[in-house]
Structure 1
Amino acid sequence: MSIDSTRTALQLRSLIKRSGELELSLASVDVPRPGANEVLVRIEAAPLNPSDLGLLFGAADMSTAKGSGTAERPVVTARVPDGGMKSMAGRLDVSMPVGNEGAGVVVEAGASAAAQALLGKTVAVIGGAMYSQYRCLPVDQCLVLPDGATPAEGASSFVNPLTALGMVETMRREGHTALVHTAAASNLGQMLNKICLKDGIGLVNIVRKQEQADLLKAQGAIHVCNAASPTFMQDLTEAVAATGATIAFDATGGGKLAGQILSCMEAALSRKGGEYSRYGSTTHKQVYLYGGLDTSPTEFSRNFGMAWGMGGWLLFSFLQKIGAASANVLKQRVVAELKTTFASHYSQEISLAEALDPDVIAIYNKRATGEKFLINPGKGLAGARG
């Protein structure tokens, strides 16, 4: 795939209209020439992460999705329920590019030495608008992949690996020694399990299905609790007591799970004995909500004393908080363990046009374990690579 002589390329866009309609399409956009400290990357792989789907579909009801347009330029429309329009107010009638991260080859570079050093390199990149054939980015938003690594192997080098490492780093910085993670059989959860096993950190994995529990145990996980089991609360309390976990990261967001985790932490701490206090244990228990797989309200009963916290956790805010030097340490670990700890697996590789097929959308929008999709913006085009 070479740059069009007109220096235009395709980019996937998401538009929510004031009329209450979502429109997904492929737009022709100008391919910029890189500035002094920028590079132009031919994107060859970009994952469909849950965070990407949030921007891609907004509050639309994708069961109403309909396809139109042509095979090369498909268009998908869907209705946004009236109740969801308020949360979309900030993006109405604004065509938005999608895709947090990706990987590809640097095909043009600016005049600076740092930019020129990347020319021809395979890099992982972050910065939005990755469902595009080309992206122009600052040098510091690129991560050079190890020799021999493909764009597909490096496409998920930022969001999931740095989130998993960020959870462990947050645990350490806040004085905890073990942690709990929900939706633990996800691509991210499997990475976190590998990190904790390698680093000797106690981890309690919470899943929803027995096959997910079996998957993690086959990968060496020690503590796996099935939220669908009738003995879940007892199992979770036992696992928390065994690890000493006092911090949790919850991908579900809604429902009762966050409160249940705090309750089990308090129950585990009460086993240690000591003087009774009607205010509960003095050990701080923390749950961070970092996802929204469950869109219902977050519910909890305050039966876990007074030393607790519940809040939000976002990767990009965390990286800003720890600073560039500390963030770079985490990034270099990702590079060093790209094909082991941080290896990602995809069920399908699709083109930009295929990403706008309603039947394909119905599959990847399930966000099911083992159904992670990868977009190759050059797929199906003459001279495409990847």
Structure 2
Amino acid sequence: MQPFNSAFNVEEKISDESLQLRSVVTHGGQVVLSLVREPLAALKPEDVLIRVEAAPINPSDIGAMLGAADLSLAWTADGAAGPELVAPVPAASLPAMRSSRAASMPVGLEGAGTVVAAGSSQAAQSLMGKTVAAMAGGMYARYRCVAAAECLVLPEGTSAVEAASCFVNPLAALGMVETACREGHTAIVQTAAASNLGQILLRICLADGVPLVNVVRSQQQEELLRAQGARYVCNSSSGDFRDRLVDAIAATGATIVLDPIGGGSGGQILSCMEVAISRRPGQAASRYGSEVLKQLYVYGALDPRPIEIPRDIGAAWAAGGWLLLRYLKVTQPQILDRLKARVAAEVKTTFASHYARGISLKEVISPEVLKVCAHPATGMKFLIEPWKNC
């Protein structure tokens, strides 16, 4: 692992421009990633300027940067401001990508750094020199102007690296658990449980006493989660996976699935839930199956194929998408404030993220690096350090 370096003296001179990573879909049917130099805009009274020191590469960021581009055919070229990455988009995917991206787009959903300048308002001035995190988009940049109200202030002594992943995974995990509990579910099944988000969700459920069934795909991942205290871990590569999954669901009473995979993954678990429910004492047989509602939420698309729902799950089921950005818009402010406060308080424990490698902005424009990021494996999360090697 390469060392991280986010030390910064707030008295250092601020540049008059920022270097920012952008993505565009060309008329020729290609995605182009490039670094663009942009002048810093004047701050409004409620704004702060963050010197971005750490920003994670999440699966959602890969989607924003590349969409359906074919990285196996990608190449680098010389652009106006330096090297660019060019990758073709399959013809079938091009219309959808063009309709969702009308122009060059800054990327990077979240990140953290030091507030180096502030507008005239008291709220903005109070953040000067502090380490803050933000989910403002365009965070793959050396500087980012953000409204003070959008910043999450971290406890003193928290580094930008520790704060970089404060929003997407922590708030998604907390939000999904809050959703499950609010809808009356008392236990949860999660797939891709060894992922960064999956491990955070495990720690939340352990702390809050919510029974959790973890589905993984290897013995190594099973051992990883059991070492963290997971009681129910089912390995999809084992021959008795389905039997073990039914037993775990029956033991916990889980009735909701949180699934970032898509395809047939969640439907298979709904089928196992129906079997587990049928074992309950006093459960009457019916041609319509059980009357217990089984809920599937898909929050990712690691499997690009259509979502499949089998017909052996009875009639009491529901399936839908779960999106963090929508959750943040529709959830009551007092609930969000409580969740954000918990993230800040537990940023080094429950919500700690670990990175395999820190890379510079220029290193992002590399087919080799992006191929690793586009096919995430356990323990291979990358962190962008915008000021590295500058």
Normalised by the shorter chain, which TM-score bucket?
A: over 0.9
- The alignment partner of 1:353 has SS state of helix
Q: Given the two structures, how large is their TM-score scaled by the length of structure 2?
A: 0.94
Whole-angstrom CA distance in 1 between matches of 2:104 and 2:13: 26
Whole-angstrom CA distance in 2 between matches of 1:135 and 1:374: 17
Q: 8 Å contact 1:247–1:285 — kept in the other structure?
A: yes
Match for 1:279 among 271, 288, 296? 288
Alignment partner, residue 51 of structure 1: 60
Match for 2:345 among 332, 336, 342? 336
* Deviation at residue 73 of structure 1 after TM alignment: 2.2
Cα distance per residue 1:258-280 (max 9 Å; x no partner): 11111111111110133221111
Q: 8 Å contact 1:33–1:40 — kept in the other structure?
A: no
* Deviation at residue 118 of structure 1 after TM alignment: 0.5
Alignment partner, residue 278 of structure 2: 270
Q: 8 Å contact 1:102–1:130 — kept in the other structure?
A: yes
Q: 8 Å contact 2:283–2:290 — kept in the other structure?
A: no
Whole-angstrom CA distance in 2 between matches of 1:91 and 1:276: 48
Cα distance per residue 1:172-193 (max 9 Å; x no partner): 1100101011111011111111
Q: 8 Å contact 1:213–1:226 — kept in the other structure?
A: yes
What pairs with 1:71-82 in structure 2 (closer than 5 Å)?
A: 73-82=82-91
* Deviation at residue 89 of structure 1 after TM alignment: 2.6
Q: 8 Å contact 1:165–1:192 — kept in the other structure?
A: yes
Whole-angstrom CA distance in 1 between matches of 2:342 and 2:102: 41
Whole-angstrom CA distance in 2 between matches of 1:275 and 1:51: 43
Cα distance per residue 1:93-136 (max 9 Å; x no partner): 61111111000000111111111110111001111000011111
- The alignment partner of 1:162 has SS state of helix
- The alignment partner of 2:329 has SS state of helix
Alignment partner, residue 384 of structure 1: none
Higher strand share: 1
1:199 and 2:181 aligned: no
Whole-angstrom CA distance in 2 between matches of 1:258 and 1:363: 25
Alignment partner, residue 231 of structure 1: 240
- The alignment partner of 2:92 has SS state of helix
Alignment partner, residue 348 of structure 1: 357
Whole-angstrom CA distance in 2 between matches of 1:335 and 1:266: 39
Q: 8 Å contact 1:72–1:353 — kept in the other structure?
A: no
What pairs with 1:268-307 in structure 2 (closer than 5 Å)?
A: 268-272=276-280, 273-307=282-316
- The alignment partner of 2:64 has SS state of helix
Aligned residues with identical type, % of pairs: 53
AA of the residue aligned to 1:332: A
Alignment partner, residue 261 of structure 2: 252
Cα distance per residue 1:61-104 (max 9 Å; x no partner): 11111112289822110111112112213245611111110000
Alignment partner, residue 129 of structure 2: 120
Q: 8 Å contact 2:218–2:235 — kept in the other structure?
A: yes
* Deviation at residue 30 of structure 1 after TM alignment: 2.1
* Deviation at residue 231 of structure 1 after TM alignment: 1.7
* Deviation at residue 299 of structure 1 after TM alignment: 1.4
- The alignment partner of 1:378 has SS state of coil
Q: 8 Å contact 1:280–1:305 — kept in the other structure?
A: yes
* Deviation at residue 287 of structure 1 after TM alignment: 0.5
Whole-angstrom CA distance in 1 between matches of 2:353 and 2:93: 33
Match for 2:322 among 313, 317, 321? 313
Whole-angstrom CA distance in 1 between matches of 2:85 and 2:286: 58
What pairs with 1:27-46 in structure 2 (closer than 5 Å)?
A: 27-46=36-55
Q: Given the two structures, how large is their TM-score scaled by the length of structure 1?
A: 0.95
Equivalent residues, number: 378
Alignment partner, residue 104 of structure 1: 113
Q: Flag structure 2 segments of 5+ consecutive residues without an equivalent.
A: 1-11
Alignment partner, residue 131 of structure 1: 140
Whole-angstrom CA distance in 1 between matches of 2:283 and 2:105: 56
Whole-angstrom CA distance in 2 between matches of 1:2 and 1:54: 35
Whole-angstrom CA distance in 1 between matches of 2:290 and 2:100: 45
- The alignment partner of 1:298 has SS state of coil
- The alignment partner of 2:93 has SS state of helix
CA RMSD of the aligned region, Å? 1.4
* Deviation at residue 293 of structure 1 after TM alignment: 0.6
Q: 8 Å contact 1:61–1:79 — kept in the other structure?
A: yes
Alignment partner, residue 179 of structure 1: 188
Q: Flag structure 1 segments of 5+ consecutive residues without an equivalent.
A: 382-386
Match for 1:167 among 176, 201, 206? 176
* Deviation at residue 60 of structure 1 after TM alignment: 0.2
Whole-angstrom CA distance in 2 between matches of 1:3 and 1:182: 45
1:373 and 2:382 aligned: yes
